[in-house]
Structure 1
Amino acid sequence: MQDEARQRGTITLIALTLVGTLNFVDRQILSVLVEPIKQELHFSDTEFGLLTGLAFSLFYALFGLPAAVIADRGKRVRVIAIACAIWSAFTAFTGSVHSFAAMAFARFGVGMGEAGGTAPSISVLSDSFRREQRPLVIGLFTLNGPVGVFVGAAFGGWAATHIGWRGAFYTLGIVGLIAAPLLWLLVREPRRGQFDEAPSPAAAEAKPATMMGTIAFFFTDPNLRLLAIGSGLSAFLSYGMLNWIPAYLMRVQQMPLTAVASWFAVAAGVTMGAGMVGGGALVNAAVRRSARGYATVPGYATLVLVPIFGLSLIVDGWPLALALMLVPMACCTVFTPASLALAQELGPRNARATVAATLLLMFNIAGLGLGPLFVGIVSDMLTPTMGIEGLRTGLLLLLVPGTAAIFVYLRLANRLAAQSGTPKPIGPEVVA
């Protein structure tokens, strides 16, 4: 029986990670193809900041919570499969656009579809593995981010010279439309809370949590509030970095597009993957001693990231700049598995998807929505007087929210340590 559960959990993890990878490829490909798209459609950096950030994250945020509530009340795997079909259809549509408005509409649709992917997946995985395994499992699942960056960068660089940027979006859309029904067929819906401690009678008889009740609980809980702030600041830095590093290397450091495909793709994929899995493993080890490990691991990772990323932006030559960016690109992803795992511990078991979606709302509004847009606006404002150095300045200013995140994580670590020296759940069992 245990072997069957372990095998089923492994299949679930692999399938959800592959679908999640498509999710991130669809996001990353636009950043990699920024220069050829700009040449044809004549977008400004601010417009591209909107397309890679706010246009996507706005609809991701609007639909993320309703999709999570549907998942908490129904079949989560079905929700993920339908979401995959929606975002893939809009990805294919992106290849046909000829204006900023049409491109924005396509990104709206991609964001709407992807809103039903990550949070329900985290909920499914939390009910497929024991709680002591969850940080590492979530770290493995969030490998879809760096793998998606790697595939997106490699495929985007190849597509730009062989099938064009439009062909790249058509291809990705078709792959996703094939993957959606396969996920539905392969992955079983796990029983909610099957690996948790025995629920209390109130928890066992509780009705499904309401969206407003879960949101109210999330933002009135001091630990979850600090987690949201720290994660939002980290995401602002992380997405701002990752969405603009390819353009920075090509524009400021004169890195050829072919080198982006062969060097940046590998560097980003390996380092970010190391950050995701390494971060999850470090949290697994740290929380055996104290619950503060959920916060100290991303806090110290950000402490390493800030000075080294700053140094990478003031050197000359893309080989040295990229080499120095390896450590920051690993550190910038550590917060993801740590934050998502802690949210699952602090939140109620009958609202896990909604709690994850609420945290992801911070990731995507503060991070994906505002981080890339901020860098784009700074670049456009300074380009008339500073030229290409405007983009460098925009990236340097990301170090300010990164520094603030360090202090928030340390504050959260102290609260967790004061409340519990062990990694037992701190939040209530249910939200009515």
Structure 2
Amino acid sequence: MVETAQATAVSAGPVTPATPLQKTLALVILMAIGSINYVDRQLLSLLIEPVRQDIPLSDTAFGLLTGLFFALFYASMGVPVAMLADRINRVKLVAVACTMWSVCTGLCGFAQNFWQLALARFGVGVGEAGGTAPSLSILSDYFKPEQRPAIIGLYTVNGPIGVFIGISLGGFIAAQYGWRMAFFTVAILGIALAPILWLLVREPLRGATEAAAPSSAHEKAPSLLSTIRIFLMLPTLRLLLPASGLLAFVSYGLLNWIPAFLMRENGMALEQLALWFGPAAGVCMGLGIWGGGAIVNIGVKKSLTAYAWAPAFSVMIGCPFLLLALFMPGWELTLILLLIPMVSVVMYVAPALALTQNLAPLRARATATALLLLSFNLVGIGGGPLMIGILSDLFTSLGSQNSLRWALASTIPVSLLAMGLYIMMARTITSDHETRRIQTGI
């Protein structure tokens, strides 16, 4: 029965090459749904200060709600949902997942205490597990390998777009109508997008864009253990998991707490946050994610080591500016200096995702991506916001008046450790690509 379902899922895709219009439509709609994914994920981080006025919670509690509690359910469901995506219609799976996480986002607006918020966040995490990995698998079957770094970089701009929408639209609605209405509004947007994806995007044939015949797409999807073995066998992927996980730790930690830092320690009002920080964060992170993919796209023409050197150099550039920004008086100068680290802190995303797509078997791409996202989520979303919240409470208990400043500064050593791992990875990328080419005949 399982093999029959697999064959049906494969045959469901178009047998003729996708047209440019179909490719563009798939990319645009998946980007839109991915953007809503990030809005729903990050909205609570934006609204920490307004929510605190109705539901008094510590920074550690908000670290749990925005980080670990969400990440545990997101990560635990990510791999099984991705394995399902390697076996059934991925487009319909993403549409159903979008509906689920949007409904649970709306439930956040009804919460009256910590545990009600936590339960709603659990639901958001479970739903969003069906978003990114299946979407990347779909796009990899619409676009050729040499196009993927730039396309995946463009797709992952949904994160900055979601940050922009969440901060600007969410901040405006929260300032005018209250924080609960902000949750209701973004929930409605996601519920409206799901049927558009279902109806307008076609499920592509697996392996249709590979040099090898698409017949390899009809092979049985490998087991979870077999896919994990790929990561254990290839040194590049063994290094990529902790390196990208540590940078996710930093990027999610900063993204979740910078709004509260600007409001609490730099005197920025919610309306100013929506007007200035929202566009700044969206544009800068968009440049960083897209730029990381674009730079690698250019760099790999000379050397595959660009997959490692681009993230490593981004850390070198971003850390000094972050340190300066945290110690500037007033939110205006702080925000100006934060522009550079907000670009550099996310340049690792597209290279990491594209590298995983290139080194994974055709029938395990969603699962392989989910394994990478497991590192992003458990270490990044689960660890970064929580650690900063715990350190902020710790510094407060020690009498510090600027506890968030010191908590955010603690991410710099983590970035430097990740940089060292990327430098090590530069030594293995070329040989691992050759190993993968020999194994597949591509």
TM bracket, shorter-chain basis: over 0.9
Offset at residue 227 of structure 1 (A): 0.6
Q: Contact (CA 8 Å) 2:109, 2:180: kept in 1 or not?
A: yes
Q: Quick check: 1:401 aligned with 2:425?
A: no
Residue aligned with 1:321, SS: helix
CA distance in 2, matches of 1:140, 1:301: 18
Q: Contact (CA 8 Å) 2:324, 2:337: kept in 1 or not?
A: yes
Amino acid at match of 1:334: M
Distance 1:205 1:32, change over 3 A: closer
Offset at residue 279 of structure 1 (A): 1.1
1:98: which partner in 2? 112
Which string of whole-angstrom CA distances, capped at 9 and with x for unpartnered residues, describes residues 330-371 of structure 1? 111110001000000111111000001100010011001100
CA distance in 2, matches of 1:200, 1:257: 52
Say which of 120, 130, 133 aligns to 2:144.
Answer: 130
Amino acid at match of 1:337: A
CA distance in 2, matches of 1:414, 1:45: 41
1:120: which partner in 2? 134
Offset at residue 220 of structure 1 (A): 3.6
Structure 2 runs not aligned, ≥5 long: 1-14
Amino acid at match of 1:165: W
Offset at residue 386 of structure 1 (A): 3.2
1:299: which partner in 2? 312
Q: Quick check: 1:345 aligned with 2:358?
A: yes
CA distance in 2, matches of 1:88, 1:180: 10
Distance 1:137 1:14, change over 3 A: same
Residues 241-250 or 382-391, more deviating: 382-391
Offset at residue 173 of structure 1 (A): 1.3
Distance 1:2 1:271, change over 3 A: farther
Distance 1:386 1:417, change over 3 A: farther
Q: Contact (CA 8 Å) 2:17, 2:208: kept in 1 or not?
A: no
CA distance in 2, matches of 1:234, 1:164: 33
Offset at residue 34 of structure 1 (A): 0.5
Q: Contact (CA 8 Å) 1:239, 1:368: kept in 2 or not?
A: yes
Residue aligned with 1:73, SS: coil
1:52: which partner in 2? 66
Amino acid at match of 1:110: V
Query: TM-score, normalization: structure 2?
Result: 0.93
Q: Contact (CA 8 Å) 2:245, 2:380: kept in 1 or not?
A: yes
Say which of 313, 317, 320 aligns to 2:330.
Answer: 317
CA distance in 2, matches of 1:386, 1:193: 59
Residue aligned with 1:291, SS: coil
Q: Contact (CA 8 Å) 1:250, 1:256: kept in 2 or not?
A: yes
Residue aligned with 1:386, SS: coil
CA distance in 2, matches of 1:110, 1:288: 40
1:83: which partner in 2? 97
Offset at residue 416 of structure 1 (A): 1.4
CA distance in 2, matches of 1:323, 1:405: 25
Offset at residue 171 of structure 1 (A): 1.4
Amino acid at match of 2:205: R
1:415: which partner in 2? 428
Offset at residue 174 of structure 1 (A): 1.6
1:240: which partner in 2? 253
Amino acid at match of 2:46: V
Amino acid at match of 1:163: Y
Distance 1:428 1:110, change over 3 A: farther
| Pairwise CA RMSD | 1.9
| Superposition map of 1:121-270 within 5 A | 121-199=135-213, 203=216, 206-270=219-283
Offset at residue 399 of structure 1 (A): 0.4
Offset at residue 212 of structure 1 (A): 2.3
Q: Quick check: 1:286 aligned with 2:306?
A: no
Q: Contact (CA 8 Å) 2:310, 2:347: kept in 1 or not?
A: yes
Offset at residue 425 of structure 1 (A): 4.9
Distance 1:4 1:121, change over 3 A: closer
Distance 1:361 1:204, change over 3 A: closer
2:5: which partner in 1? none
CA distance in 1, matches of 2:98, 2:429: 36
CA distance in 2, matches of 1:164, 1:428: 57
Q: Contact (CA 8 Å) 2:217, 2:362: kept in 1 or not?
A: no
Say which of 270, 282, 287 aligns to 1:274.
Answer: 287
Distance 1:419 1:216, change over 3 A: closer
Which string of whole-angstrom CA distances, capped at 9 and with x for unpartnered residues, describes residues 362-399 of structure 1? 00110011000000000011112334411111100000
Amino acid at match of 2:117: M
CA distance in 1, matches of 2:438, 2:288: 27
CA distance in 2, matches of 1:383, 1:426: 54
Query: TM-score, normalization: structure 1?
Result: 0.95
Residue aligned with 2:142, SS: coil
CA distance in 1, matches of 2:178, 2:438: 50
Identical aligned residues as a percent? 47
Distance 1:346 1:16, change over 3 A: same
Q: Quick check: 1:21 aligned with 2:60?
A: no
CA distance in 2, matches of 1:14, 1:93: 27
Residue aligned with 1:414, SS: coil
Amino acid at match of 1:347: A
Amino acid at match of 1:356: T
Distance 1:89 1:416, change over 3 A: same
Q: Quick check: 1:355 aligned with 2:368?
A: yes
1:110: which partner in 2? 124
Following TM superposition, where does structure 1 have runs of at least 4 consecutive aligned residues deviating by more than 6 angstroms? Answer: none
Q: Contact (CA 8 Å) 1:346, 1:428: kept in 2 or not?
A: no
CA distance in 2, matches of 1:123, 1:204: 12
Q: Contact (CA 8 Å) 2:208, 2:214: kept in 1 or not?
A: no
Q: Contact (CA 8 Å) 2:224, 2:367: kept in 1 or not?
A: yes
Structure 1 runs not aligned, ≥5 long: none
Offset at residue 291 of structure 1 (A): 1.1
CA distance in 2, matches of 1:312, 1:281: 27
Say which of 79, 86, 97 aligns to 1:65.
Answer: 79
